[in-house]
Structure 1
């Protein structure tokens, strides 16, 4: 079982049991130990740092290197023995590609989900949890989970094009 704090899990459950946007922002305001707050202009390697601060794996990091490509750099995510070069397609980095790659490398131990309460803002919120905790929440609150938290798909777009 995970060492994820019972208090953090209770905080998430309090929102699931009182699923309104005002309650969400009151409960999670400043809770960077639970929620990754990602601005549309965020430095992509910082997203990996935010996730590690929440999960406290001691194994998750990002390496930014200059490169002769469209972006002018590469970012490689390291998680334990796994390594993944983020597959940016256009000029520069983009948060959606970074988030999908981060979720991919964390799988199956962890999963990141989008907090739909932050939808429509230029600062979006994501919750990384051990997979087994998401599974427990999915079972306990089956009728609410998909309305509150979006799972990542291969083509998930949160910040736009």
Structure 2
């Protein structure tokens, strides 16, 4: 269960209490709309995933400065469908390959 001054949210764990994807998605909900947590995509394939928490205002400023597409390429917004920790190894390699191709076509 997560709680803030204004809200309490029960984490809807999918299979067991070590479901980190559900925990991150729940954190995203509890801090919205004042803050956003995004997945730092350069950490994909590492043994540790990285996330960045900023105010929604700061994300908006970064989007204005760098563009939505470029910002989301590096810092993927968390959605209710986001799969980060439970990705299959083959899916991780496919995403990494797609990102490398996109990077070389810039």
Aligned residues: 86
> Following TM superposition, by how much is the alpha carbon of 1:78 offset from its aligned partner in structure 2, in angstroms?
0.9
Structure with greater Cα Rg: 1
Match of 2:31 in 1: 106
> Following TM superposition, by how much is the alpha carbon of 1:102 offset from its aligned partner in structure 2, in angstroms?
0.1
- Structure 1: which 5+ runs fail to align? 1-75
Question: How do 1:53-72 and structure 2 match up within 5 A?
Answer: none
Match of 1:91 in 2: 16
Match of 2:73 in 1: 147
Q: What is the SS of the residue equivalent to 1:123?
A: coil
- Does the alignment pair 1:122 with 2:47? yes
Match of 1:66 in 2: none
Q: What is the SS of the residue equivalent to 1:114?
A: strand
> TM-score, normalised on structure 1?
0.51
- Does the alignment pair 1:157 with 2:83? yes
CA distance in 2, matches of 1:113, 1:145: 10
**Higher strand proportion (structure 1 or 2):** 1
String of CA shifts for 1:22-76, please: whole Å, max 9, x gaps.
xxxxxxxxxxxxxxxxxxxxxxxxxxxxxxxxxxxxxxxxxxxxxxxxxxxxxx1
Post-superposition, which runs of at least 4 consecutive aligned residues in structure 1 deviate over 2 A? none
Match of 2:101 in 1: none
Q: What is the SS of the residue equivalent to 2:38?
A: strand
> Following TM superposition, by how much is the alpha carbon of 1:117 offset from its aligned partner in structure 2, in angstroms?
0.8
Q: What is the SS of the residue equivalent to 2:49?
A: strand
**Counterpart pick for 2:7 among 82, 100, 106:** 82
